[in-house]
Structure 1
Amino acid sequence: MTRELSDVLADYLALRRSLGFSLNRDAKLLAQFIGYLGERGTTTITVADAVTWASLPVGGSPGWLAFRLAVVRGFATYLHTLDPATQIPPRGLLPGGTRRAVPYLYSPSDIAALMAQAETLKTPLRTATIQTFIGVMAITGMRGGEVVALDDDDFDPGRGLLEVRHAKLGKWRRLPLHPTTVTAINDYRRLRDRYFPVPVSPALLVSMAGTRLNYINVGQTFARLARRAGLAGRSGASRPRPHDLRHAFAVATLLDWCRDGGDVAARMPLLSAYLGHTEPANTYWYLQAAPELLAEAARRLDPEDRKPRQREPR
């Protein structure tokens, strides 16, 4: 690895990590890329070298090759401010790339079906753990990783709050809970404590060994429950995932706001803060995530259909 590029890479990673990005995979790939440049005896990034290196893995998927090039593009953009000779690979040079998955929007009956299927799990603790995981995600819109990372001390039953300390980009927030949710979490804790009077871990939700849940394992269990519940994806790009409980929460909230005639734009910062988004622009994505929202927006723009209407039961 050339010394000059090594120093610049360290500065680049330090800068982005100060903004909350972990960049472990990016750091590894960029170190490999700089090593590749060193082997070729060059210290200047060119589009040709970037594309050649990104395309090196034999049998790599188009998405993976495009990701490799995107990592180089980010570093090259930073380096170009220091060395104008650095070439920035334009977007679209390689096929593939990431596309945001189409969310599967759960209905109340879908969530009830998942809860019912969880009753078939091997032990009462496993059943209660998965049901509580699903319930917390559905009622708060938290990310699955945030739910798994909750410690028992993050739950304040007296004030009815969850403290989310291990959030994306290091953002911290407190979420108010409905009394029924507080009761459900307290019921789970009592059952958990009967299994483990002496805690094995500080986690709120625990595995059958008393340790913190593994999100990958939870996802695999969730997928089995979804299949047994008959929750079929609308397409290959829209299949039931735990993360879609978060999408369903956001869409349901926006639908309620649209239907009650309030100022949705004024409320968006509140939803952004609740979801832990860095800015409202990230939350606006949900406006195009569901046909129901688009239809409701169109209805509100129709002068003949702006009269208040009786809300339908949900």
Structure 2
Amino acid sequence: MGIRSRRLDAEALASLLKVEDFLALGELICHEDAREARRLRCIDVADEAARMCQEEGVAFLSHQWASFEHPDPDGVQYRAMVKAVEEVLERGIKCSWIWVDYCSIPQRNTFQQQTAINSLSVYASYCSVFLSVVPPCIHSDTGHDIDINSYCSRAWCRLEKLSYGTAGWNADGRLAFMCTQEGITNDWKAIFDDESVLDVAGGAFSCCARNHPDGKPCDKQKIVGVLLGIYWRLLATVRDAPENADRATALLKLIDQDEKRYFPPYTSYISETGSTRIELFDGFLPVLRDMFLQDTEADHHQRVVVPGVGDPQLDDFLPQARARVKVNMTSL
């Protein structure tokens, strides 16, 4: 436990940009280009991530992509991000580092990308300010308006909000801003107190809108690990921080009322070859709850290390859960 407790409990390194470098980029660049330009600071130690969050400030930027292949073909999103970050700095809020999906998550290597996605809620645990950047613009491929309504409907945007909004229940000074053409507003409830935030699987996915060209699988498969981690986080919050668990309790109640909506066992998607049915969360939650009970019965120092009051070590419990689901299903 000594070694594991010191490392960042994530499958992939947290990749951040220095705020000065981000403001000087001129445009959003992909993770690989940022890495080659030596613009990324990669963190794999929990103590260092916590120190950066508390002492220097780390901003999590959330936004809707403005095309299928590039997040910001016309630069509208980047300019809005710069404006939002500059206003945060003008308010005296610590913001020395930036996390933003296109720069911080690998874009070319699908395995590396998936491990980073699995770690999304861990990354969010070590961010001190959340910026929902929603400039009005037009999606370059669909011609549809991008606005606050479309942003809130996007599955990936919901996942980012859920990852941050369920972390750090005991932390002081964690902030959230909605950033529109009118400026930025500090409105935690407007961003996170929305039942749709929990409905990530029911959100809009670009892959589904495109009917999964070139045989690409549905992105809904990519969210399974991180959503199970967030579910564990909610359980751990109620257990370990009951004085701050009102919202976690409310979200768990919603899940109990309609578990198949928020954690659908299966989904179907359309592609060039027709309709395909795939497994998502089938059998996972009962196993996860059983594992959580075992974790609760263990001595406190032997429990899963949970940054943000509740992220499981995905590399440990997901393979165990998958194996146990298979055993349970074959015994029926």
Q: Please confirm whether the aligned pair reaches a TM-score higher than 0.5, indicating the same fold.
A: no
Question: TM-score with structure 2 length normalisation?
Answer: 0.22
Higher RCO (CA < 8 A, seq sep 6+): 2
Question: TM-score with structure 1 length normalisation?
Answer: 0.23
